[in-house]
Structure 1
Amino acid sequence: MSETICDLTNRSCKPCEGGTPPLTRAQAGEMMQQLDDGWVLAEDASYIEREFKFKGFAKAVYTTNLACFLADQQGHHPDIRMGWGYCNVRFSTHAVNGLSENDFICAAKLDAMVKTQDG
């Protein structure tokens, strides 16, 4: 599993073009195996989501900032909700109305960044 995650973390997002179909539920399910267990695949396979939990506000802010930095770096922007003790990150690809490989690349990169932050 770690080799595959490494593969995703070493890749970069590609610009999405119209007319590209979203990943099927089966394809998304296969890609989920490459992510941390904290990620959840939506029932309709339209997004992946992870809630990071903390014992305070600061780490939630730091994780939100990591997700924002990653989004800016990759040109692929998640929906983020945060508050005291949590940061919720949801990836989907609006251009395809569902999931693309970019979502999984960003999720794997975010996982790696959070693990580095945790020490």
Structure 2
Amino acid sequence: MSDDLTKRQCRDLPKGSPALGAGEIAALMPRLDPGWHAGGGKLTRRFEVKGYAPAHMLANATAFLAEREGHHPDISFGWGWCEVTFWTHTVGGLSENDFICAAKLDALVAG
């Protein structure tokens, strides 16, 4: 695995592929912004922004990233916030794809 998750691409994971184990998740978490939380087989981050338009723009940017990677999170937003949740449906939990997308979103937000 490349050290820089932003240089990797998501790959297809057929149904029945194994989800990451607790040790693998723990090893990947430090490679993300500390705002990400893993639990219940999902990876979630709530972004605080200034107003509705920036929240909407972040949701749209996240959707664009998701389309490019072929890996789609749940996105919700409102005035001053945008929450993104990644998980891999076909594995029933977290996969490397979730961490790749989270790292790319971190890089996007950091500018």
Q: TM-score, with normalisation over the residues of structure 2?
A: 0.95
Amino acid at match of 1:54: V
Structure 2 counterpart of 1:66: 61
> Structure 1 residue 58: deviation in Å?
1.3
Q: CA RMSD in A?
A: 1.2
Distance in 2 (CA, whole Å) between partners of 1:52 and 1:71 is: 17
Q: Distance in 2 between matches of 1:61 and 1:112?
A: 18
Identity of aligned pairs, percent?
A: 49
Gaps of 5+ in 1: none
Give the gaps of 5 or more residues in structure 2.
none
Answering whether residue 107 of structure 2 is matched by residue 112 of structure 1, we say: yes
4+ residue stretches of structure 1 with deviation over 4 A?
none
CA distance in 1, matches of 2:6, 2:61: 14
Matched length: 110
d(CA) in 2 for partners of 1:55 and 1:75? 29
Give secondary structure in 1 for the equivalent of 2:77. strand
Q: Indicate whether 1:78 and 2:73 are aligned.
A: yes
